[in-house]
């Protein structure tokens, strides 16, 4: 059966769409993919809304509908690139765009992107709202992708971990016993550095980490940032841009705006490298294989810094395992749609903190 997965993450850069085939054994292969960037004005609107203390209801509804149309457009463009039509697709799994995420206790998570519009414009059954059933069962609704990682990337012969470097960095520690597999959010990946680059160089990101490489890590500043309570909190745990955003960082260390901007960027990259490596050393494997995915996997300087702290781990890209780094999470939500349609559970309680496995998502029929 064929499924489409849609992912737009905390980097707020655009929509990843993956067309996948899942056979009768549940084995997944990617057939085609499409990336649709957000227009700059939409990106700015989404960021402002995600950071606002008070939200204008009409603006929220308008953006919800706008994203629904964009998700549908991404699906139709993907199908036009491929040899398939809407009638060939069993379902679309849409993550939606996160506007708020709060961990336990009193957890909640809100994604927008009207699934009614997606189903209507594509003529394909759409599944969305994956996180809130896990929250209803006492979990944090995140991260959800570790169950997919276990199903697709597990290797019986090597200790293996999957590191997603999106806006937030999250890790999956794969286990021989699927019940023992777990994952958690480590801290910021691209969110802070991209925001700094946008502010000072008017670019979306530092390609390959070239600018960061020219700076010098400011150790006293890094030490202050590493004192943020989240880093020492034990899993299960999740976070988002509510905690890791430039405004919060400026409150903690207001002097950053008086220091060399290249040095601050280098220090932000080092923050990711150190928080990733320390999280893995505390709760993951310190040997074996670490496969990278997400936009940060393209940041050569960041990967060098992570490898600097994890000398006994082989670092590679998920392309080596058959799924391109930019499409892993889109494939995951196609897989979650398959699980929902077949009434199979999609969460890992060890990861989210839920009372038990649950079938996730709300179904919007074609």
Confidence of residue 349 (pLDDT cuts 50, 70, 90): very high
Q: What is the CA radius of gyration of the chain?
A: 19
How does pLDDT run across 235-291, given as a tens digit for each residue? 999 999 999 999 999 999 999 999 999 999 999 999 999 999 999 999 999 999 999
Confidence of residue 139 (pLDDT cuts 50, 70, 90): very high
Strands 362-364 and 313-317 turn out to be unpaired
Q: What integer pLDDT is reported at residue 20 of this predicted model?
A: 98
Q: What integer pLDDT is reported at residue 60 of this predicted model?
A: 96
Q: What integer pLDDT is reported at residue 53 of this predicted model?
A: 86
Q: What integer pLDDT is reported at residue 168 of this predicted model?
A: 96
Q: Is residue 197 classed as helix, strand or coil in its secondary structure?
A: helix
**Omega of the bond leading into 236 within 30 degrees of 0 (cis):** yes
How does pLDDT run across 48-57, given as a tens digit for each residue? 999 888 889 9
Q: Is residue 53 classed as helix, strand or coil in its secondary structure?
A: coil
Element (H, E) at 169: strand 168-173
Confidence of residue 10 (pLDDT cuts 50, 70, 90): confident
Mean pLDDT of the chain: 96
Q: Give the whole-number percent of the chain exceeding pLDDT 90.
A: 95
How does pLDDT run across 17-43, given as a tens digit for each residue? 999 999 999 999 999 999 999 999 999
User: Please, what's the b/e burial string for 80-114 (b: 16 or more CB within 10 A of its CB; e: otherwise)?
Assistant: eebebeeeebbbbbbbbbbbbbbbbeebebbbbbb
Strands 28-37 and 14-22 turn out to be antiparallel
Strands 160-165 and 288-293 turn out to be parallel
In terms of Cβ atoms closer than 10 Å to its own Cβ (0-12, 13-18, 19+), residue 241 is: buried
Q: Are 192 and 271 in contact (CB under 8 A)?
A: yes
What are the chain's domains? 2-141+327-364 (3.30.420.40), 146-321 (3.30.420.40)
Rounded to whole angstroms, the Cα distance separating 15 from 362 reads 20
- Among 330, 360, 364, 316, CA closest to 135: 360
Q: Give the whole-number percent of the chain exceeding pLDDT 70.
A: 100
Q: Which residue's entry shows tokens 């940060």?
A: 296
Whether 11 shows a pLDDT value over 90: the answer reads no
Strands 2-7 and 108-112 turn out to be unpaired
How does pLDDT run across 110-125, given as a tens digit for each residue? 999 999 999 999 999 9
Confidence of residue 12 (pLDDT cuts 50, 70, 90): confident
């Amino acid at each position: 059966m064929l499924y489409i997965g849609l992912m737009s993450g905390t980097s707020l850069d655009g929509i990843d769409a993956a067309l996948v085939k899942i056979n009768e054994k549940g084995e997944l292969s990617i057939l085609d993919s499409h990336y649709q960037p957000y227009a700059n004005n939409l990106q700015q609107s989404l960021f402002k809304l995600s950071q606002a203390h008070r939200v204008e209801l009409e603006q929220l509804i308008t953006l919800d509908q706008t994203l629904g149309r964009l998700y549908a457009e991404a699906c139709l463009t993907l199908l036009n690139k491929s040899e398939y039509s809407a009638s060939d697709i069993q379902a679309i799994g849409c993550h939606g765009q996160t506007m708020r995420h709060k961990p336990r206790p009193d957890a909640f998570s809100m994604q927008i992107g009207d699934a009614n519009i997606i189903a209507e414009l594509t003529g394909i059954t759409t599944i969305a709202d994956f996180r809130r059933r896990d929250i209803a069962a006492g979990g944090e609704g995140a991260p959800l992708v570790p169950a997919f990682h276990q199903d697709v990337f597990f290797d019986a012969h090597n200790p293996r971990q999957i590191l997603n470097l999106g806006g937030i960095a999250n890790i999956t520690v794969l286990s021989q016993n699927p019940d023992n597999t777990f994952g958690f959010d480590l801290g910021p990946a691209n969110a802070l550095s991209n925001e700094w680059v946008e502010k000072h160089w008017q670019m979306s990101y530092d390609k390959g980490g070239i600018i960061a490489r020219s700076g010098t890590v400011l150790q006293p500043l890094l030490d202050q940032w590493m004192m943020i309570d989240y880093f020492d909190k034990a899993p299960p745990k999740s976070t988002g841009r509510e905690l890791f955003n430039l405004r919060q960082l400026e409150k903690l260390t207001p002097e950053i705006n008086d220091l060399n901007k290249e040095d601050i960027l280098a220090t932000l990259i080092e923050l990711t490298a150190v928080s990733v490596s320390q999280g893995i050393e505390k709760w993951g494997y310190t040997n074996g294989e670490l496969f990278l995915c997400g936009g940060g996997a393209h940041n050569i300087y960041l990967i060098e810094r992570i490898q600097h702290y994890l000398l006994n781990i082989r670092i590679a890209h998920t392309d080596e395992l058959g799924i391109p780094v930019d499409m892993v999470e889109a494939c995951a939500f196609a897989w979650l749609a398959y699980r929902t349609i077949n009434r199979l559970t999609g969460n890992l309680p060890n990861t989210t903190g839920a009372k038990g496995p649950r079938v996730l998502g709300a179904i919007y029929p074609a």
